[in-house]
């Protein structure tokens, strides 16, 4: 069996498991195109008791041909203001970093990608990240600065703008 077909089978299994569940906490997920198992679209629901509450944030997951040996890439399509999401929407979270030791020594290998991660574990981690950003390793330096120094003012206002914008397309 080729790596691609093994990855395809695993992703099909995970998709089927997600679709068979009656409810998912905080997200929905499916294929972007029924003919491509490697490109998914997801909707992240803003976690309760956060500034993101009430938001519906669309994102894409693109899986490599050698999944689960390597992690997918995740990018928000919806505008979202967060220290660990670049202004272009790219998600920077430890479990989506290549497996093994971090060449900069910031992350432990146990925090990085491991083949046991699933689509569900990725999305649960992203939802957790929305609630508890890591402002020490920001993908969006401006959002991280606001998180630290203007949390209840400018940061909150910028997040709420994104939440309002996310509701316009429902």
For residue 61, the 8-state DSSP code is E
Contact yes or no for 38/20 (Cβ under 8 A): no
> DSSP string spanning 111-126?
GS--TT--HHHHHHHH
Coil vs helix vs strand at 79: coil
Taking Cα atoms as reference points, which of 55, 97, 107 lies closest to residue 76?
55
162 is catalytic: no
The residue from 18, 92, 130, 143 that is catalytic is: 92
Within 10 Å of residue 127's Cβ, how many Cβ atoms? 18
- State the chain's maximal CA–CA distance in angstroms: 55
Dihedral over Cα of 46, 169, 84, 157: its sign: negative
All residues at 6 or more sequence positions from 132 whose CB lies less than 8 Å from its CB, including other chains: none
Q: Which of the residues are catalytic?
A: 92
């Amino acid at each position: 069996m080729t790596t691609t077909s093994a990855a395809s089978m695993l992703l099909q299994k995970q998709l089927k498991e997600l679709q068979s569940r009656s409810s998912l906490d905080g997200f929905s997920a499916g294929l972007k195109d029924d003919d491509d198992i490697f490109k998914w679209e997801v909707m992240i629901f803003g976690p309760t008791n956060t500034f993101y509450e009430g938001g519906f944030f669309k994102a894409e997951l693109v899986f490599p041909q050698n999944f689960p040996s390597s992690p997918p890439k995740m990018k928000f399509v919806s505008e979202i203001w967060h220290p660990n999401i670049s202004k272009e929407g790219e998600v920077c979270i430890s479990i989506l970093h290549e497996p093994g030791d971090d060449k900069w020594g910031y992350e432990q290998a146990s925090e990085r990608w491991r083949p046991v991660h699933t689509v569900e574990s990725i999305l649960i981690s992203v939802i957790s990240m929305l609630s508890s950003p890591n402002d020490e390793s920001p993908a969006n330096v401006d959002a991280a600065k606001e998180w630290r120094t203007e949390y209840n003012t400018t940061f909150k206002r910028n997040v709420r703008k994104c939440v309002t914008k996310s509701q316009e397309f429902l």
